[in-house]
Amino acid sequence: MGEEKNSYFRVSFNQKLKVGFKGAEVTSDGGLLAIREMDEQLGLTRIAGEYLKDIRHGKNVQHEMTGLLRQSVYSRLGGYEDTNDAECLRKDPGMRAIIGERALEKAGAGETTVGRFEKEILLEGNNTDKLDGIIMRWIEKIDLIRGIKKIVLDMDSSESPVYGEQEESAYNGHFGLKCYHPLFVRLRRTGTVLRSS
């Protein structure tokens, strides 16, 4: 066991990056590199960067929207539930490689920046509306790869029972009770929720 000479491979999202085993520099999130490689091939986070509007101005802006989105998404994929782990992850060699060139050279975003991205920047302007557009573009890309030429949308309400006279509740004959009726639009073949109200 131990380190072997020349046992590394390169990823297409950064040709300068060599991935291999080096005991002194290890990450528990190395498996995310494969997902990032797939992301690069499909252009998923790149598409998101085209849609999201960055309203930050000034010389203090260090992290691009695409890098912040990657750090947020990939940390969740790695099992980190919230932004508390951002301070450690910003220095992790695997996470830095996933985020992008700037993070690889310096570091990823800290807890405050990632928190602000998730709780403010994504909610400002019309970014939340644009998230719907991003999801639709992602589905189009995947469907194109799978060779799917038509989609069927399934629109259903869901029952959320109420007890009393709550505003906007109504009787539902199917469920036989008074409830709220949030609507969901799903892709029929996968059940993926596209929109809810």
What are the residue boundaries of the structural domains of the chain, listed by start? Answer: 8-127, 151-197
The encoded tokens of residue 122 equal: 């994504």
All residues at 6 or more sequence positions from 21 whose CB lies less than 8 Å from its CB, including other chains: 3, 4, 7
Question: Amino acid letter at 134?
Answer: I
Residues of the chain with pLDDT under 70: 1-10, 17-29, 57-61
CA 10 to chain centre: 24
The residues with which 184 forms a beta bridge, in sequence order, are 156, 196
The encoded tokens of residue 30 equal: 């190395």
Rounded to the nearest 5 degrees, what angle is found at the Cα of 109, between the Cα atoms of 107 and 110?
110
Task: Find out whether 56 and 121 touch, Cβ atoms under 8 Å.
Answer: yes
pLDDT of residue 3: 47
Q: Please count the CA atoms within 13 angstroms of the CA of 72 that sit on its side-chain side.
A: 19
pLDDT of residue 23: 60
Could you give the 3-state DSSP secondary structure of residue 163? coil
- Cβ-based neighbour number of residue 109 at 10 Å: 24
Helix axes 32-42, 127-146, angle to 10 degrees: 90
- Cβ-based neighbour number of residue 166 at 10 Å: 11
